[in-house]
Structure 1
Amino acid sequence: MLRKKILAVGAAAMLAMGLAACGNSDTGDKAADDGKIVLGFSQVGAESGWRTANTISIKESATKAGIELKFDDAQQKQENQIKAIRNFIQQKVDVIAFSPVVESGWDTVLKEAKDAKIPVILTDRAVDSQDTSLYKTFIGSDFVKEGKLAGEWLVKETAAATGPVNIVELQGTTGSAPANDRKKGFADAIAGSPNLKVIASQTGDFTRAGGKAVMEQFLKANPKIDVLFAHNDDMGLGALEAITAAGKVPGKDIKIITIDAVKDGMQALADGKFNFIAECSPLLGPQLMDLVKRVKAGETIPTRILTEEGTFTPEQAKAALPTRAY
């Protein structure tokens, strides 16, 4: 009798375990296939006001679009981004998007994503891979055009100058697409004006602190500087501090041209401390989420999608600032 009771209890326990296991299995399958798109995104870092606005745009847009976002901050290190992308592959996300720290050195990890059948979208910055099948599309700005617009403004502004115009350049992160392209665009634009001379060019790594430190060096080494071309607003704002500390008037003694048009930069422009800004919008989130959905659905999309942007003078900055979103 006791043996029968033990067998009965054991059978009941096994049945309960079986039911529980079935229940867990159903829940797991449903959670794994709930129809929600999972996006793995690796950000460059938080080196500037532009980048912070870009991150906010991506996070808010993912929430609004109903996309699950796995976000990683690479802290401006390529090795961190490669590690993040491999983690996304292991997690079997639906789509990977990232803003490359530098242009080169991505083929191996992108091939791993391709082999895992996970599509990749490049945002803001491009890569120099010859195999364009490793990513679906690029969404962002035309950095060469931004540099060209900055140079064209300077050519017009200095058209009446009779002597040499000495320019110093604060470059972005060495090897990054915006640094390479903005430098090229600017150089191409001023090439036809032999009196415009870049007398010093060095990276400030897209940071305000970097811009200030390098500008201090420029001012010590070059007694006559007429123009500063900074690859982004933050470096320009740091340089502005160095120029003021040196007893010079920014915007007058040294004309300042920057790229981005974030709020702090636009305020400096409205105040007459900057002279010209070429825009580079960080608000890529809505377009990115739309692309993620289209890529997941297997749609054919263009390999390059450019954002629409403009330029600003001091008066235009004053008009735009009250409604500026970043």
Structure 2
Amino acid sequence: MKIFARAAIAAAFAVSTVIAHAADYPAPQPLKPTAQADIGKLPSKSGGYTIAYMPPATEFNYYIAIGEGIKAKAAKAGVNTFMLAPQSGADINGQMGMIQDAITRKVDAIILSTHDEAAAAPLVKQAVAKGIAVVIVNSDILDFPTPVHAVVGYSQRKGTHLMGDYLLAHMPAKSVKIGVIAGQEGYHSTERVGGFLDAVKGKPGINIVSTLSGNWNVEGGNTAAMDMLQANPDIDVIFAANDYMIMGTSQAAKALGRSKVMLLGNDGDTAGLEQIAAGTVTATVNTAPFQMGETAFDVTMDVLSHKYKGGFVETPAQIVDKTNVLPILKDPASLYPKPSKAY
């Protein structure tokens, strides 16, 4: 069973101002004029495309899942793809060198996700000038600092606003103390933390008592949560800007005997979903990375064939907790990595 039917996606994210498109994905929303590259200037080819998928790191299974969605669609279309990424998401210089390598290799398209848009912008500009299609994935940035051909991803602020709404509907007490674990400084962390805070700040019974960085990974989340819970032993809720950090938080909570703390994540990582099923994480914003990769590939192919007119394609996000996690885990074909057991 596909959890996100394409027709439902299109209906859920319809907007008043849209751009015509060719493939079966939601109608794009316009980018800011200064961020939209001219698709008409791309070279015309009838096939033989090579696409580089360039996530910020291989340490995150989430980005591998996006790549698996791209790879699955590419295999069916007979398109050559490869992934190029540093091991660590903190290795910004490493990713910049790899983007330069992809440009040198004269690929037809780059599907890019980066933790540092400002650092990537000069290289993206260079790629576009050389006739390489650039599609930003796992983002909703409408004003990338240099023109790109398309953006594909979920609305990050809207997604985590859903999590804030979820907390308000499932408050473990009339008044709660909340810790927030942000990611590495940048657009993604700002938007994700901002969406959650937009939903909860100023509401009755809400007290934000600590905000720390977890650097997007399990170890960072564990360290931040240890510090946070020891300094604030009465914390009731911790929200983390991705699932890796909330999984690290789960380890810290267990080590400190804090099993009743509500733990809220963001992403839809397979391991995070399994922790929800096991009861060690409360909920996450499932952003369906495998399906996001499929959509990114469709958009990229439409860009290369000049069928795409530009813009941002919004992909789905939904809250997942113990009430609805099992149907997702029972559909392993749409997950990467696969669940550790059959559900």
Q: How many pairs were matched up?
A: 287
**Match in the other structure for 1:170:** 181
Cα offsets for 1:215-253 (capped at 9, x unmatched): 11112211211001011222111111111111121xxx2
Q: CA deviation at 1:270?
A: 2.2
Closer, same or farther in 2 for the Cα pair 1:100/1:68, shift >3 Å? same
Corresponding residue SS for 1:105: helix
Mark the CA change 1:272 to 1:43 in structure 2 (over 3 Å): closer, same or farther. same
**Which entry has the higher C-alpha Rg, 1 or 2?**
1
- 2:150 touches 2:310 (CA, 8 Å); kept in 1? yes
TM-score under structure 1 normalisation?
0.81
- SS across alignment from 1:229: strand
Look up the match of 1:30: none
Match of 1:155?
A: 168
**CA distance in 1: counterparts of 2:144 and 2:268, whole angstroms:** 32
CA shift at 1:194, angstroms? 4.6
- Asked if structure 1 preserves the Cα contact closer than 8 Å seen for 2:263 and 2:281, the reply is yes
2:282 aligned to which of 275, 278, 284: 275
For residues 93 and 305 of structure 1, the distance between their equivalents in structure 2, rounded to whole angstroms, comes to 23
SS class of match (2:208): strand
Aligned letter for 2:81? L
Structure 2 residue aligned with 1:105: 119
Bigger relative contact order (CA 8 A; separation at least 6): 2
CA distance in 2 between counterparts of 1:193 and 1:57 reads 39
State the Cα RMSD in Å.
2.2
Determine if the alignment matches structure 1 residue 116 to structure 2 residue 160: no
Structure 1 partner of 2:38: none
Write 1 or 2 for the structure with the bigger share of helix.
Answer: 1
Q: Give the secondary structure class of the aligned counterpart of 1:144.
A: helix
Unaligned runs of 5+ in 1: 1-32
Question: Aligned partners of 2:118, 2:135: CA distance in 1, in Å?
Answer: 16
Structure 1 residues 92, 48: closer, same or farther in 2, change over 3 A?
closer
Pairwise CA distance, 1:126: 5.3
Partner of 1:310: 318
DSSP 3-state at the match of 2:306: coil
Structure 2, unaligned runs of 5 or more: 1-44, 336-343
Q: Alignment identity in percent?
A: 24
Of residues 218-227 and 84-93 in structure 1, the stretch that sits farther from structure 2 once superposed is 84-93
Provide, for residues 83-137 of structure 1, a one-character-per-residue CA deviation record: whole Å limited to 9, x for no partner: 22222222221112211122323332122122212221101135685656x2011
Task: Judge conservation of contact 1:103–1:128 (CA < 8 Å) in 2.
Answer: no
Contact 1:100 1:125 in 2 (8 A): no
Counterparts of 1:160 and 1:224, CA distance in 2: 12
Greater displacement, 98-107 / 199-208: 98-107
Return the TM-score normalized by structure 2: 0.77
- Any idea what SS the aligned residue of 2:289 has? coil
Structure 1 residue 188: Cα displacement:
0.6
